[in-house]
Structure 1
Amino acid sequence: MNKTLTTLFALAVASVTAFSHAQEAKGDVEAGKQKIAMCIGCHGIPGYQASFPEVHRVPMISGQNAKYIAAALVAYQKGERKHPTMRGIATSLSEQDIADMAAYYEQHGKKGADLPAKPSREPSVQVAELLKKGACVSCHGDNFAKPIDPSYPKIAGQHSDYLFVALKAYKADARNPNLGRSNAIMGGISKQFTNAELKALANYIGSIDGDLQVVPQSRFR
């Protein structure tokens, strides 16, 4: 299994590199600031909850890697991520819009202090085994906040209920037109675990310190 995962990770890095090279639009933070009105209603409200596919807090995106935000929006455009609302928003955006918005959120509320190389809160024995089984640090970094490539997300401190929903989405039936995420790497990893195990992973990763946060924003400026 470890050999298979190593091969998958190598392929993932190669595809991410190809994706990165394909992105020519350079993000402009100030331009992005003028384009995020549709994002504020969910991502700019502390504690805001979504109801699809179940009730969960919407992900924190302030401080997230710009390349990951861009990659996620492109995946919604292509239908590789099947959240109806997010796909509707993403399909309205140009390549330049995505680059500008991603650049804005990467620096929005950015914290100054560097995180430690490893989380200060140790996982339980059970969770440590699950992290090892999924080889999570191989992509997301030893502290889950410094991925091996910026096209991968920072996940340390992300809302645990959102992480749980996202992980389950990789296990969803591909025939469902409105639910699921198509990613060979994450699909292969998530399907190794029961939902109870995914929840344990999400609870631990969500409990450790990270760069992500919700910065309150107003629709009216």
Structure 2
Amino acid sequence: MNKLFTLLFSAVVAFAATSSHAQEIKGDAAAGGTKNAMCIGCHGIAGYQSTFPEVYKVPMISGQGAAYIASALHSYKKGDRKHPTMRGVATTLSEQDIADLAAYYSARGVVDGVELPAMPAMQANTQVQALLAKANCASCHGANFSKPIDPSYPKLAGQHSDYLLVALKAYKVENNPNVGRNNAIMASMAKQYTNAELKQIAGYISSLPSDLKVVPQSRFR
């Protein structure tokens, strides 16, 4: 319990510092729409698949929270998320670029007045409920997995199940220069599960109603 408290406290302090800095830079969604040439080749094509570190659908980012998109890009830029392609993209972005892209994708495809139910209509089976309770996943990502308690946390509901599985497994990877995610809290959570259990969790969360989507966009503009 003390270890978990320490991890949570550290995460809050780190987010407070990041959030304070982020508030100094305001994202411009219109500007973001002119800066996404390196994004649309993967995230703007429905069903597009990555082949590294295994085959999986690239995540849907339209409708994702702006603070999370910015946080993820900063993590790739710093190397806390170890994905060669994404790091290559992120390192070319300025702080303003990141803010603009986050604003653009968080608003893309959003329909005003449409709000997801606070609780998912489809409840997980008993086994998956037990798995979710083990790490108390809803306490951070929301009961419907689409209203995280902190804007820097991702919306998960409806995300591709194969991507969710790859992401969760990445938190378990250590000492690999090209694969893995350095996040002490998520690592401690993910390591409680076998990969088969993570697959069950990902399958359920991907089945839930979602704000996330792919808004098709031509690579050629």
Same fold by TM-score greater than 0.5:
yes
Deviation string, structure 1 residues 178-213 (Cα, Å, up to 9, x no partner): 000000110000001000010000000001011000
| Range moving further from structure 2, 10-19 or 94-103 | 10-19
d(CA) in 2 for partners of 1:153 and 1:111?
Answer: 19
In structure 1, what is the equivalent of residue 12 of structure 2? 13
Give the corresponding residue for 2:167: 166
Taking the aligned partners of 1:16 and 1:156, their CA distance within structure 2 comes to 23
CA, structure 1 residues 203+83, in 2 after alignment: closer, same or farther (shift >3 Å)? same
Give the equivalent residue in structure 2 for 1:124: 125
Does 2:75 correspond to 1:67? no
- SS of 1:37's equivalent? coil
The 1-side partners of 2:87 and 2:134 are apart by 32
Please show how residues 133-144 of structure 1 align to structure 2 within 5 Å: 133-144=134-145
- Structure 1 partner of 2:91: 91
- Aligned residue for 1:72, secondary structure, equals helix
Q: 1:6 offset after TM fit, Å? A: 5.2
SS of aligned partner of 1:154: coil
Q: Which runs of 5+ in 1 are unaligned?
A: none
Q: Deviations over 1:134-166 (max 9, x none)?
A: 111111111110111111000000000000000
Give the aligned partner of residue 207 of structure 1: 207
Deviation, 1:4, is: 4.9
Q: What percent of counterpart residues are identical?
A: 64
Aligned residues between the structures: 219
Check conservation: 1:111, 1:211, Cα contact below 8 A.
no
Distance (whole Å) between structure 1 residues aligned to residue 194 and residue 52 of structure 2 = 21
CA distance change for structure 1 residues 6 and 115 in 2, over 3 Å: closer, same or farther? farther
C-alpha distance in 2 between matches for 1:82 and 1:54: 14
- Aligned mates of 2:192, 2:25 — CA distance in 1: 37
Q: Does 1:39 align with 2:29?
A: no
Aligned to 1:216: 216
Indicate the residue corresponding to 1:155 in structure 2: 156
CA distance in 2 between partners of 1:140 and 1:150 (Å): 10
Q: In the alignment, what sits opposite 1:55?
A: 55
Counterpart CA distance in 2 for 1:198 and 1:143 is: 18
Q: Give distance in 1, aligned partners of 2:161 and 2:117.
A: 20
Q: Cα deviations across residues 3-24 of structure 1 (Å, max 9, x unaligned)? A: 6545533443332222111222
CA distance in 1, matches of 2:83, 2:118: 34
Shift of 1:111: 3.1
Query: CA separation in 1, counterparts of 2:88 and 2:209?
Result: 32
Q: Which aligned runs of 4 or more in structure 1 are off by greater than 6 angstroms?
A: none
Give the TM-score of the pair, scaled to structure 1: 0.95
User: In the alignment, what sits opposite 2:196?
Assistant: 196
SS in 2 for 1:118: coil
TM-score by length of 2: 0.95
Aligned partners of 2:11 and 2:87: how far apart in 1? 23
CA distance in 1, matches of 2:12, 2:134: 19
| Structural RMSD (CA) | 1.3
Deviations 1:38-88 (A, max 9, x none): 100000000000000000000000000111111101101111000000000
In 2, Cα distance between equivalents of 1:29 and 1:168: 32
Partner SS, residue 38 of structure 1: coil
